[in-house]
């Protein structure tokens, strides 16, 4: 067998093996929005920092009224509910492993509780005395995968396409 043909067969086998070993890219899940009138009641300012602990905005802000109810964007298990430093936070874990966190949110739910898509899981509330809000009357909404933070707008079907600017 000529060396070129052998090399082509080996390269083809190698590429097929690599393709078989890689997980196919799954389309994102599309979730329900946690508040009504979502399109006009959220910020677009998701900013993933350059480093794991760098400054950034790892989510979006939902503009809410004090006490406004928030609804589960997907069927979920509560993976965390409690105080982080000076504010209440709740994290919902989807059946596929994504985690959506909301702060500042007051809730009676505890870790392990089940919520169905559309079910009220908490209300917008204030942090403790001394808590500095980065926006007034808002709830921060972030999404994580095992690989890090992702833009929540991707999961509610609202991510705008990139624009090239010259």
Q: What is the mean pLDDT of residues 11-40?
A: 75
Residue reference for tokens 């890090």: 148
As a whole number, the mean pLDDT across the chain is: 88
Task: Specify the pLDDT at position 84.
Answer: 93
Evaluate whether 159 touches 153 at the Cβ level (below 8 Å): yes
Residue reference for tokens 């609804």: 71
Task: Specify the pLDDT at position 61.
Answer: 95
Interval 74-111: pLDDT, tens:
999 999 999 999 999 999 999 999 999 999 999 999 99
DSSP 96-139: TS-EEEEESEE-S--TT-EE-TT-EEEEE----TT---SSTTEE
The encoded tokens of residue 32 equal 């329900």
Q: What are phi and psi for residue 165, nearest 5 degrees?
A: -120, 130
**Nearest CA to 156 among 26, 25, 29?**
29
Task: Provide the residue ranges of all domains of the chain, joining segments of one domain with +.
Answer: 38-155
The encoded tokens of residue 30 equal 């599309």
For residue 104, say if its preceding peptide bond is cis, omega within 30 degrees of 0. yes
Interval 121-165: pLDDT, tens:
999 999 888 888 888 899 999 999 998 999 999 999 888 777 777
Task: Specify the pLDDT at position 15.
Answer: 67
Residue 21 has pLDDT above 70, yes or no: no
Helix (H) or strand (E) holding 157: none
Provide the H-helix boundaries in the chain.
3-21, 152-155
CATH assignment, 38-155: 2.70.70.10
Q: Could you tell me the pTM of the whole model?
A: 0.79
């Amino acid at each position: 067998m000529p060396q070129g043909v052998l090399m082509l067969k080996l390269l083809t086998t190698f590429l097929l093996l690599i393709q078989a070993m890689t997980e196919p890219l799954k389309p994102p899940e599309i979730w329900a929005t946690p508040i009504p009138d979502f399109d006009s009641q959220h910020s677009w300012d998701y900013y993933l920092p350059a480093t794991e602990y760098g400054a950034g905005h790892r989510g979006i802000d939902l503009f809410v009224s004090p006490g406004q109810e928030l609804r589960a964007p997907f069927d979920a298990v509560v993976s965390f509910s409690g105080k982080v430093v000076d504010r209440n936070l709740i994290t919902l874990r989807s059946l596929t492993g994504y985690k959506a966190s909301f702060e500042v949110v007051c809730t009676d739910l505890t870790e392990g509780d089940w919520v169905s898509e559309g079910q009220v899981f908490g209300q917008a509330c204030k942090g403790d005395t001394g808590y500095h809000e980065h926006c007034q009357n808002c709830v921060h909404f972030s999404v994580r995968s095992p690989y890090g933070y992702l833009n929540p707008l991707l999961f509610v079907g609202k991510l705008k396409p990139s624009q090239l600017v010259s």
